[in-house]
Structures are given as C-alpha cells and as structure tokens.
Structure 1
Amino acid sequence: MFTTDHAFSGFSVDDIDAARQFYGETLGLTVRDNPMGFLDIGLASGAHILAYSKTNHEPASFTILNFPVADIEAAVDDLNARGVTTKIYSDDEFPTDHRGILRGEGQGPDIAWFRDPAGNVLAVMQDDALSG
C-alpha cells in the first residue's frame, strides 16, 4: 500500500565529497554515507534529505532547501564567516542589500540565498515565530 510516512526529498550534486564537507562541516548538519554511496543529510527536525552524485548534474534553478532562522542578520553573518557567499543574485534579479538579504517588507519573509558547491540554491529566511 502507498504511504507517505517515510517520504523524503533528494537532489543531485556533481561532487559527493564536496557536498559531504559543505553540508557536514560548513553548515553543521548530520551527514552520513549510505550503503549506495549517497549522502543522508539529517535535519534537526528529524527529516532526512538524500544527496546523490550525478555525472551530468545541473544545478537546481530553484531553492532546494530553506532554513528558517530567528535572526536573519545573525544567520547571514554566520554563513559569511564560514565562507558562504549570500549575495548570489544581481539587483536586477532580486533587490537585495550588500549582504544578499531581500527584505520582505510585508510581502513575505526576509530571505537570503546561497549556493552549495554543486551550484544548488539554498536559503535562510526570517521566521519571527522562532525568535521567542
């Protein structure tokens, strides 16, 4: 019978070792190798994401993973200190500040995007419910 109890998402990368280092060491997520040579990326929520190597990988043209944060300013500063670039779009694409933060100004949350080593897009976004 079809069930959704153990559903998970996945995405491709072009270098599994670079992905292991980025998601595990740079972002601090739990990363395990699975028996098929893929990465099992664990999130604090208990969810898991599968990252797999693909020879003809093309970076996702959309955000593959969002990280809600209590303080986007602090999160962007922390990512930048870890060597992650958060200003990835031109102002013609998205009018962001010098650190790459797009201000929602009532139209949505403040958000900043960044890329993994394979070029996939990730984001941190302000979630006021987390601030207390």
Structure 2
Amino acid sequence: MLQSYPMYAYIPARDLARARQFYEQRIGLVPKQEINGGVAYEFAGGTACFLYPTPNAGTSQASQAFWSVDDVDALIERLKARGVTFEDYDMPGERSPAGAVIAGGAKAAWFKDSEGNIMALVQSL
C-alpha cells in the first residue's frame, strides 16, 4: 500500500546551525525550504530529507539514512577533501582502495555528521 508513495528521511540535530553548516558546506547540500524550525533538502528521484532540531540527535547506533550512489570510492575521496571523516567498522568483506566495505552485492561507507548521526553511501554492485 505505501510503496507507491515517496519516503522521506528525518535527520535530527542538537544544534541546527552547526548541522546546516556540515550538510551545506561539507556535504554540499542546497536547502530547498526552511519550515517548522528546520530545513528541507531535495535529492534525486523526488526524494528529500528534513533536518530538524531535537535533543535526541546522535542517539541511534544504526545508520540514519543512506545515499544510493554510482561510485562510492570517488565520493569518499571528494568528501574527505571537504573534511568529512569516515568510520572504520570491523565488518566482514573486502575493502575498496578508498576504504569502503565490499560485501553482499554492495560497496558501502559510513560517516557521522556534526550531530553524531550515522550516514551511509551505498553502491549496488
């Protein structure tokens, strides 16, 4: 029933100004709209996320969201050059030259945003 509708991610932020600086300056996102005390960003395929203030940011130990990308290694290098630090999880699988985990038909890499949220880049192989 719900698969015919777009799905959007919520990204919590303890400090909205700091989070906006991370996502807009380091990740390169362009805000679409400020609404209800937060900010919306649009992505490919009509998807979007809403960055909003809450004291609960960074409390999840799992990935908050992921981008489905064409070339994880190239994006790792580009984001590292902009000051993004990638996590090094002890996981089974091979490692790509840029450090992404290769397993289960995908190549993936994770980083934490300024609020401690875990975000991922995933490339289907």
- Name the TM-score class by shorter chain: 0.7 to 0.9
Match of residue 44 from structure 1: 44
Is contact 2:100–2:109 with CA below 8 Å preserved after alignment? yes
Q: Percent identical across equivalent pairs?
A: 28
**TM-score under structure 2 length normalisation:** 0.79
What runs of 5+ residues in structure 2 fail to find an aligned partner?
Answer: none
More strand by percentage: 2
* Counterpart secondary structure, 1:125: strand
Q: CA deviation at 1:6?
A: 6.5
Match of residue 27 from structure 1: 27
Is contact 1:13–1:57 with CA below 8 Å preserved after alignment? yes
Q: CA deviation at 1:27?
A: 1.2
User: Do residues 116 (structure 1) and 113 (structure 2) align?
Assistant: yes
The amino acid that maps onto 1:46 is G
Q: CA deviation at 1:44?
A: 2.5
- Cα distance in 2 for partners of 1:126, 1:57 equals 26
Is contact 1:59–1:119 with CA below 8 Å preserved after alignment? yes
- Over the aligned positions, Cα root-mean-square deviation in angstroms equals 2.4
The amino acid that maps onto 2:119 is L
What runs of 5+ residues in structure 1 fail to find an aligned partner?
Answer: none
- Cα distance in 2 for partners of 1:52, 1:66 equals 17
Segment of structure 1 superposing worse, 11-20 or 27-36: 27-36
How many residue pairs are counted as aligned between the two chains? Answer: 120
The amino acid that maps onto 1:48 is A
Is contact 2:106–2:122 with CA below 8 Å preserved after alignment? yes
Q: Deviations over 1:74-128 (max 9, x none)?
A: 1111111111111x2343xx25748541111xx2301010011001011112235
Segment of structure 1 superposing worse, 41-50 or 30-39: 30-39
Is contact 1:60–1:120 with CA below 8 Å preserved after alignment? yes
Is contact 1:100–1:113 with CA below 8 Å preserved after alignment? no
Q: CA deviation at 1:23?
A: 1.5
- Cα distance in 2 for partners of 1:31, 1:5 equals 22
